[in-house]
């Protein structure tokens, strides 16, 4: 599960770096999510880990607000990341 999340993070980090609007806000939002994912302890089943980490990033999404953005506050970037994380969790739980 951690490998799947790392792959998702890499895709979103590259997209954030290529963003035409508020690049620094996007990069910072992904970095905040990466910190949560990399600092999470891997305990229990892959499903338990995935759901726990997903919930932690979802909590970040609910409260995240980077006031430096002209067009975004970073929550949209995190919402997109959550969508892909959800797909990864579903893939593992379906196995």
* pLDDT tens figures, 23-36: 999 999 999 999 99
Helix (H, G, I), strand (E, B) or coil at 70: coil
Nearest to 81 by CA among 25, 7, 1: 7
Nearest to 58 by CA among 33, 41, 39: 33
**Phi/psi of residue 32, nearest 5 degrees:** -65, -40
Q: How many domains does one find in the chain? A: 1
How far apart (Å, rounded) are the C-alpha atoms in residues 85 and 91? 10
Q: What is the mean pLDDT of residues 40-54?
A: 90
How far apart (Å, rounded) are the C-alpha atoms in residues 37 and 22? 23
Q: What percent of the chain has pLDDT over 70?
A: 99
Which residues constitute the domain of residue 51?
2-94
Instruction: Show the tokens assigned to 21.
Output: 């609007």
Q: Structure pTM?
A: 0.92
- Per the model's pLDDT, the better-predicted residue between 13 and 93 turns out to be 13
């Amino acid at each position: 599960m951690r490998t799947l999340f790392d792959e998702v993070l890499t895709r979103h980090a590259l997209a954030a770096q290529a963003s035409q609007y508020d690049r620094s806000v996007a990069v910072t939002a992904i970095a905040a999510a990466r910190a949560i994912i990399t600092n999470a302890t891997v305990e229990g089943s892959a499903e338990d880990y995935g759901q726990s980490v997903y919930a932690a990033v979802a909590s970040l999404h609910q409260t995240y607000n980077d006031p430096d953005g002209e067009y975004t506050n970073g929550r949209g970037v995190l919402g997109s990341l959550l969508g892909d994380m959800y797909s990864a969790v579903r893939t593992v739980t379906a196995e």
